[in-house]
Structure 1
Amino acid sequence: MKTDFHFSNLLGTVYRKGNLVFTEDGNSLLSPVGNRVTVFDLVNNKSHTLPFAHRTNISRIALHPKGQLLLTIDEQGHAILSHYLRRVVLYHFSLRGAVSTLEFSPSGKHFAVSLGRKIEVWKTPSTPGSAEGDSEEGGLEFAPFVKYREYVGHHDTVQNIEWSSDSRFFLSSSKDLTARIWSLDPEEGFTPTILAGHRTAVYAAWFSADQETIYTISKDGALFQWQYLPPPDADPENITADDERWRIAERNYFFQDQAHLTTAAFHASSNLLVTGFSNGVFMLHELPGFSEIHKLSISASNIDTVSINRTGEWLAFGSSALGQLLVWEWQSESYILKQQGHFDNLNALTYSPSGDKIITCADDGKIKVWDAASGFCIVTFTEHTSGVTACEFARRGNVLFTASLDGSVRAFDLIRYRCFRTFTAPNRLSFSSVAVDPSGEVVAAGSLDDFDVHIWSVQTGQLLDQLSGHEGPISSLAFAPNGSALVSGSWDRTVRIWSIFQRTQTSEPLQLQSDVLAVSVRPDSKQVAVSSLDGQLTFWSIDQGTQEAGLDGRRDASGGRKATDRRTAANVAGTKSFNTISYAADGSVLLASGNSKYICMYAVETGVLLRKFTVSVNLSLDGTQEYLNSKLLTEAGPQALLDEQGEASDLEDRIDKSLPGSKRGDAAQRKTAPEVRVPGVAFAPTGRAFCAASTEGLLVYSLDTSVQFDPFDLDVDVTPSTTLKALARGEYLKALVMAFRLSNTKLLTRIYRSVPTSDIDLIVRDVPLVYLERLLRFVAQEADASPHLELNLRWIESLLRQHGRELKARQGDYAEVTRLVQRAVARLQGEIMKVAEQNTHTVDFLLAQPRKVDEKERVKALANGKAEEEQDESMDEGADEGDWVGFD
């Protein structure tokens, strides 16, 4: 079993805080999700998370106008410059303070940041390998961040910076009720100008397309238009240059009762103004006429940020309170993207049997189904009225079972996306665990309020039995994959193995030394793994009821120190156990996680810790540090525990809306940092990936499937030209292997399509087994992308027929590519069946149409013994040559 899993994607969280940025082509959207950045491809309907991570949550992001450089800045002012296309980190730099706004100039040579009341303009570092760098070779620079100029003059925090189209000037908006005009370089006859007149904080200011007008907008919804004009009472004939200055030409107001402006964006080329308010309403206006185009409500809370793509067609909105991300096409009034993550703690997750869907459930009462390939949420179930604690898939059919604190267990049909069955107990219980029989006929659930295991029939929904025997709350349930036994773990320090399908229901107790937290059955149904409160992992034989192995995981599970802990991380007892465990597909590896930042991977046979994954290094979460920083310790205690809400500058930020004693409520208003923990882990059915439900979201780790360049397989004679010469000579196998060694996709495609169909079997028979997996993967990708239907099917048929034994003998290694081939064949089958069905309907329609029958055919039909009734029907009165008759 390979253990080189790497972070692949982050699901379950689509937006946290900060600003949204469209790419230059407008097809992708960049969203900050905690300390990472996720890219949503709006055209291909996919998403991926960039591999780098900050130490705290990201507050501002900006993309270079050319689309190569991405600059991200976190809450502490630490900046990371990365190559967006290559997904590689170039430089780290600290701006030594919290940044409120960040903007690249249209020329791309400078970027401006605001640090409180001060504005700094920096030179943009050169792109590695380009000729624009300061160095002669265009390589990495020793000091890439060079400060160009500082601008001081505002008396409060600068909220927005906007550049002019020629990159010579920029506007700054501040909480000191003013906006200012600055020049990048000293301009002859120009002096920095103050635009004053608003009664509340100025949120943003923009130039018009011709730069003759300036628009400023404030928090109270006042929009001012500024123009370079003389005094209104001046004599038109005696106007001098000294009389002209920026004056308010027109005032407009957004009348939103009990709401204030929270975000705004302006598209200069189309004169489109988008504004968002604290009540979830956004408005579209066309300037300078201030004519209203749209007014819609998209959220129940603040709209934190809005962004417009380059063409002005798509609008992106982000709301941090509920974790919402929306992309709206305003002309057609339709959603391009509408995603929302869980706004409460995740509790459990599971893979679908096919491996293409991931299901998560959380304390917010929602169940979300995520597409593993695209990273998008495809459906959300809201039938539960309280937190959902467990979820489990039936191995046969597309049925999902969930347990909730509302006292119900529900069954969901993932084909029609509906809840078709609800199971309840005679007494009001809060269910915390669920297990499903492999056949999908029986579902079992356990509760922390009762000591019995409840069993229902899926077909009828009736309660079949209540298994008594435990003397403590039920913490975990699991069915053996072969359906022979039900395993239950309890806080009474026992694990019981139930034979519920036999005539006499018996249970065999397995005694442990501490409370049982989780149980998991190996895929071959011969072994059960048990995690207990003392940090021990024990492995028991289901048939014999004896312990086979055990290991101590306390040191491995121990995580970081929280701000409230009075002990060091090594001595805290709350993190020294595993709350969830999961076997791999082949049963050789076990994943374990708990209330710490670590995910541990163990070898089942040897009990060796194979690898330890760190879920997050985000300092914005509590429990990610091994040692607390002594600088953050005050006389009143740790700084993270001090309530600084009453010291906020704005009134709405100072008001405490939470109920006394409540730890939950508005997800955006947290007095203490959320604690890092991993309540659920699950292996994919293929064994090539696993996912983890964490405080950050749904983390996906997978084996690196990209083909690596291997220089040891190369020879001096292996070049693209020699490969093409071998193809021209008809040496197809040699050319195919050489293309694999070069990892040249275009060359491989050309050779693949050039092989005669009569030689496919010979080439597949002699292909080295080293390249079998890569050939299978390539053929599956070709079957998905190319229109050569018969050619692809011939290759697939030959590969499966001649190497079927090898694929079956090494199922673990070939599981992923086999599933890719299966998915490609299923898609082709669906398309062919659809075409065949359409052809059937077309033929039926054509056969039902009338046709012309001449006299010779009519006589011939009569001579063949047609019945007299049919003759009378076909020979009506007045019928002559060329009459229309119908036929079956």
Structure 2
Amino acid sequence: MKIDFKFSNLCGTVYKKGNLLFTPDGNSIISPVGNQVSIFDLVNNKSETMPFENRKNIVYIALSPNSQLLLTIDEDGRALLVNFYRRIVIHHFNFKGKVNCAEFSPDGKFIAVGVGKRIEIWRSPGLQHEFAPFILHRKYSGHYDDLTHINWFHDSRFFVTSSKDFTVKIYSTDPVDGFVPTTLTGHKQTVIASFFGSDNSTIYTISKDGALAVRKFNLVADQSVVEFGKFPLDPKTNQPLETQWSTPKHHYFMQKNTKLKVAVFNPATQTLVVGFSNGVFSLYEMPSFSELQTLSITQTKLTAAAINFSGEWIALASSKLGQLLVWEWQSESYILKQQGHAYDMSCVAFSGDGQYIATGGDDGKVKIWTAASGFCFVTFSNHSAAVTAIQFSKRNQVVISASADGTVRAFDLVRYRNFRTFVSPTPVQFTCVAVDPSGEIVVAGCQDSFDIYMWSMQTGNLLDVLSGHEGPVSALDFSPDGVQLASASWDKSVRLWNVFQRSVSVDKLSHMFEVLSVVYRPDSKQVSTSTLDGQIHFWNVENASQLFSIEGRKDIAPGRKQNDVMTAENSSFGKSFTSLCYSADGSVILGSGNSLYICLYDVESGVLLKKFRVSSNFSFDGMHELLNSKYMTEAGPIDAIDSDHNASDLEDRLDMSLPGVKSGDLSKRNTKEIVRTSCIRFSPSGKQFAASTNMGLVIFSLDNNLYFDPYDLEVDITPSVVKELLFNEHYLRALVYSLRLGENTITNLVYNNIPLSQVQHIVKQIPSKYLIRMLQFISRIFETNRFLQLNLHWINMIFTNRSAYFLSNSLSVRPVLRDLRKACSKIHLNLGKLCDDNIFDIQRLISS
């Protein structure tokens, strides 16, 4: 089995902090997610998380006008320069200070960066690797507090800056005759943003208290408005005439008891979007200040907004909820509405065909995600407490979730409703759930009465209560053949139940420590358990004997937390596996826990094959093996001290989340989270695995960009030989040689040129060891190849004429069969939707 899994996507989180950007074509929205960047394609309905990571959480991103360069800046001022199209990091750079804003100039030649109180202008780097791609052009100072916003003039000669010191300043990129740097005052609170108007003679400045000042550039002599940047000369003296900025108008947004948090302006359509701390956003047409729309979209403050070039779509984000919206204001409809779990993600499950991923969170919500696009298409909010376990039924139409609210619920993915609710005779808190392969029996374990409850899916009635454990039940798993049920408990034992024959004795697998997880191998002949001491045990199911163990404490051990007194080596936190999962063929096993590492072991040898690091974000705690003493002070770790006064405003410190609370906790604490991986699951095809973490749903996939993968390759097997065999109609040898060569282009050429009448004859004679490789090739090209009949005919012939091989090698062929099932299901859904649309259109035309 291949083990070169690489980071593929981050689905469970859509926004954390920072600003939003639309691509110049307006079809995609770029959102910072922790220390990574996600791109949401609004036209093709796909999301993608770039593979690179900043050192800490990203606070600002900037995109060049030609969309070739992306600049991402983290909390410490460290920046990454990225080739946006190729997703490759070109250069690392440190601005040596906290960066609040950064903007590319309209001509793409400069980058204006607000580092604390000063402005730095850097020459825009190229796309090639350079020794020093960042070259400082000029530095500007004059503000007395941190900058909040930078906006460029249309010709890149000037820019305007906003600051927390209530002022706005206008600077020139290079010295310009007749221009003197100007300061605009008059606001009573922090200036959130300032923008150049489309008439090139107006500047709009917006402050936190909801005041908008209209500044006009005019002559001092007759107060006539002139275009900024073209300084008129006196015809008599040939000297520049005296000019000034005046404030003829003030406008107010009139939102009581709120503060303005974000403002964006589109000069092409002259529309202004402002967001407030109460979740309301307003759209205005400038310069008339006509209100076009005002809506409340959330109950928390808006922290980021963006508007595309055409002015049709507005993107809004809230960091507290992790919510991202794209609103089309003219039709008043959502283009995109995504939100992750409000609290940590606790569990994850793949559907049988691998198309969908279900997640449960501590917020009591169950979300269903599309694995291919990374979008959540349905959310169930029926649970009133944290969801502790989740699982799909065999037919993928039902999702079963267990919760600490004392209920187990079944959700229908066809009608999107909760159609069954399973409860116990006495109130308990459920910690785990399992469904038998037939989908008829649902079992759940609890942490109160230590019992296991069994229900019927059809009737919802309680069938039986399995008693015997003396501690909380931590995990349940049905054997793939549906004969046994394995239950793990904190009483240091695992019990193997025969739920259909109660007369059969229950096998007990005793351990030395508390058992945290249990899972069956796909062939039902082996069961694996993890214990609190960090070991993974493997048991023979037939005679209930232990085979061997893996010592994994050192493999999964997390780093040292900033408040830990002892070193990470002596700490016991996180040194155990809380979730295990076999691969589809049972050759490897994954383990995860309260750590940032995921360990992949070989089942046969017990050797650690690879360690996957979930995140490299140093904004989390426990990322370092050793702590640096220079970051420790008498008041504690320096990272725990709020030194930048982000929450200096009263409305940012109020916590009125509980009913009846009027003031809340006025203190501001800065604590770091620890990366935890609560659950991990392999996809049925074995090509990817998903981990539910407190960062979101992290997906690792095999690298599909491998073009040359030789298999039984010999010297005389070359592409020219394969083409010659194909030309001479030696189809069987050409196909076998192309599979041995391992180049998809050559195999595709042979595959498309074999007549349908020869397929059955070739399938009967092809060596058995090439059958799986042939099916892997068909599943790989299924979505891109338009020859649907050819693909289905090959699959039908292989299964019809070589069924004996698949029955005798059922374990090794399961991954490719599930991959084929996923591809066929996806094509079936797309064709079904297309046919339904065509039928509807024909009926509408006939009736009209």
Same fold (TM over 0.5): yes
Aligned counterparts of 2:80 and 2:831: Cα–Cα separation in 1 = 49
Residue 377 of structure 1: aligned partner: 376
Which residue identity lines up with residue 163 of structure 1 in the other structure? W
8 Å contact 2:472–2:491 — kept in the other structure?
yes
8 Å contact 2:631–2:638 — kept in the other structure?
yes
Alignment of 1:299-448 (within 5 A): 299-448=298-447
8 Å contact 2:679–2:692 — kept in the other structure?
yes
Which residue identity lines up with residue 166 of structure 2 in the other structure? L
> Secondary structure in 2 aligned to 1:570?
coil
The superposition leaves residues 598-632 of structure 1 with CA deviations (integer Å, 9 ceiling, x where unpaired) of: 11111222221111111112111111111112121
Which residue identity lines up with residue 182 of structure 1 in the other structure? Y
Q: Does 1:180 align with 2:179?
A: no
Q: Does 1:554 align with 2:553?
A: yes
8 Å contact 2:162–2:169 — kept in the other structure?
yes
Which residue identity lines up with residue 186 of structure 2 in the other structure? G
Cα distance change, pair 360–669 in 1 and its aligned pair in 2 (3 A): farther
The superposition leaves residues 642-696 of structure 1 with CA deviations (integer Å, 9 ceiling, x where unpaired) of: 4669785434345566889x9xx99x98631111111111111111211111122
8 Å contact 2:268–2:309 — kept in the other structure?
no
Alignment of 1:136-535 (within 5 A): 140-230=129-219, 242-504=241-503, 506-535=505-534
- Aligned-pair CA distance for 1:176: 1.0
8 Å contact 2:653–2:668 — kept in the other structure?
no
Aligned counterparts of 2:616 and 2:93: Cα–Cα separation in 1 = 18
- Aligned-pair CA distance for 1:382: 0.3
Alignment of 1:644-683 (within 5 A): 648-655=647-654, 671-683=670-682
Kindly, what percent of the aligned residue pairs are identical?
Answer: 48
Aligned counterparts of 1:436 and 1:539: Cα–Cα separation in 2 = 22
Residue 634 of structure 1: aligned partner: 633
Aligned counterparts of 1:679 and 1:828: Cα–Cα separation in 2 = 33
Residue 73 of structure 2: aligned partner: 73
Which residue identity lines up with residue 157 of structure 1 in the other structure? D
Which residue identity lines up with residue 204 of structure 2 in the other structure? Y
Cα distance change, pair 356–126 in 1 and its aligned pair in 2 (3 A): same
Which residue identity lines up with residue 177 of structure 1 in the other structure? F
Aligned counterparts of 1:272 and 1:503: Cα–Cα separation in 2 = 71
Residue 884 of structure 1: aligned partner: none
The superposition leaves residues 450-474 of structure 1 with CA deviations (integer Å, 9 ceiling, x where unpaired) of: 2222222222222222222122222
> Secondary structure in 2 aligned to 1:569?
coil
The superposition leaves residues 249-301 of structure 1 with CA deviations (integer Å, 9 ceiling, x where unpaired) of: 22111000111111111110110111111111111111011111111111111
The superposition leaves residues 487-540 of structure 1 with CA deviations (integer Å, 9 ceiling, x where unpaired) of: 212222122222221143642322211111111122222222111112222122
Residue 37 of structure 1: aligned partner: 37
Deviates more, 1:831-840 or 1:502-511: 831-840
8 Å contact 2:684–2:815 — kept in the other structure?
no
Cα distance change, pair 195–605 in 1 and its aligned pair in 2 (3 A): same
Cα distance change, pair 331–766 in 1 and its aligned pair in 2 (3 A): farther
Residue 230 of structure 2: aligned partner: none
Cα distance change, pair 406–205 in 1 and its aligned pair in 2 (3 A): same
- Aligned-pair CA distance for 1:795: 4.9
8 Å contact 1:500–1:506 — kept in the other structure?
no
8 Å contact 1:399–1:411 — kept in the other structure?
yes
Deviates more, 1:104-113 or 1:622-631: 622-631
Cα distance change, pair 752–602 in 1 and its aligned pair in 2 (3 A): closer
Cα distance change, pair 798–417 in 1 and its aligned pair in 2 (3 A): same
Residue 132 of structure 1: aligned partner: none
Larger radius of gyration: 1
Aligned counterparts of 1:515 and 1:402: Cα–Cα separation in 2 = 24
- Aligned-pair CA distance for 1:91: 0.8
- Aligned-pair CA distance for 1:229: 2.2
Residue 539 of structure 1: aligned partner: 538
- Aligned-pair CA distance for 1:209: 2.0
Aligned counterparts of 1:716 and 1:292: Cα–Cα separation in 2 = 75
Alignment of 1:10-29 (within 5 A): 10-29=10-29
TM-score normalised to the size of structure 2?
0.89
Q: Does 1:111 align with 2:100?
A: no
8 Å contact 2:581–2:682 — kept in the other structure?
yes
Which residue identity lines up with residue 279 of structure 2 in the other structure? G
Residue 611 of structure 1: aligned partner: 610
Cα distance change, pair 460–115 in 1 and its aligned pair in 2 (3 A): same
Aligned counterparts of 1:838 and 1:275: Cα–Cα separation in 2 = 40
Which residue identity lines up with residue 368 of structure 1 in the other structure? K
Which residue identity lines up with residue 413 of structure 2 in the other structure? L
Aligned counterparts of 1:839 and 1:618: Cα–Cα separation in 2 = 49
Aligned counterparts of 1:845 and 1:674: Cα–Cα separation in 2 = 56
Cα distance change, pair 786–71 in 1 and its aligned pair in 2 (3 A): same
Aligned counterparts of 2:292 and 2:757: Cα–Cα separation in 1 = 64
Aligned counterparts of 2:378 and 2:407: Cα–Cα separation in 1 = 21
8 Å contact 1:396–1:438 — kept in the other structure?
no
Deviates more, 1:807-816 or 1:388-397: 807-816
- Aligned-pair CA distance for 1:761: 5.9
- Aligned-pair CA distance for 1:758: 4.9
Aligned counterparts of 1:443 and 1:29: Cα–Cα separation in 2 = 42
8 Å contact 1:223–1:253 — kept in the other structure?
yes
Which residue identity lines up with residue 358 of structure 2 in the other structure? I
Aligned length, in residue pairs:
830
Cα distance change, pair 797–432 in 1 and its aligned pair in 2 (3 A): closer
Aligned counterparts of 2:834 and 2:311: Cα–Cα separation in 1 = 39
> Secondary structure in 1 aligned to 2:569?
helix
- Aligned-pair CA distance for 1:639: 2.6
> Secondary structure in 2 aligned to 1:631?
helix
- Aligned-pair CA distance for 1:13: 0.5
Cα distance change, pair 427–671 in 1 and its aligned pair in 2 (3 A): farther
Cα distance change, pair 782–292 in 1 and its aligned pair in 2 (3 A): same
Aligned counterparts of 1:22 and 1:438: Cα–Cα separation in 2 = 46
Which residue identity lines up with residue 679 of structure 1 in the other structure? S
8 Å contact 2:101–2:113 — kept in the other structure?
yes
8 Å contact 2:521–2:528 — kept in the other structure?
yes
Q: Does 1:707 align with 2:696?
A: no
Cα distance change, pair 647–599 in 1 and its aligned pair in 2 (3 A): closer
Residue 7 of structure 1: aligned partner: 7
Which residue identity lines up with residue 213 of structure 1 in the other structure? T
Residue 862 of structure 1: aligned partner: none
- Aligned-pair CA distance for 1:436: 1.8
Deviates more, 1:590-599 or 1:457-466: 457-466
The superposition leaves residues 763-803 of structure 1 with CA deviations (integer Å, 9 ceiling, x where unpaired) of: 77888999977865665566545655544544554565677
Deviates more, 1:340-349 or 1:449-458: 449-458
Which residue identity lines up with residue 89 of structure 2 in the other structure? V
Aligned counterparts of 1:334 and 1:424: Cα–Cα separation in 2 = 39
- Aligned-pair CA distance for 1:641: 4.2
Which residue identity lines up with residue 310 of structure 1 in the other structure? F
- Bigger relative contact order, structure 1 or 2 (CA pairs below 8 A, ≥6 apart): 2
Unaligned runs of 5+ in 2: 226-232, 235-239
Cα distance change, pair 669–621 in 1 and its aligned pair in 2 (3 A): farther
Q: Does 1:59 align with 2:45?
A: no
> Secondary structure in 2 aligned to 1:707?
coil
Aligned counterparts of 2:841 and 2:645: Cα–Cα separation in 1 = 73
Cα distance change, pair 20–811 in 1 and its aligned pair in 2 (3 A): farther
Cα distance change, pair 223–635 in 1 and its aligned pair in 2 (3 A): same
Q: Does 1:588 align with 2:587?
A: yes
Aligned counterparts of 2:154 and 2:843: Cα–Cα separation in 1 = 63
8 Å contact 2:585–2:815 — kept in the other structure?
no
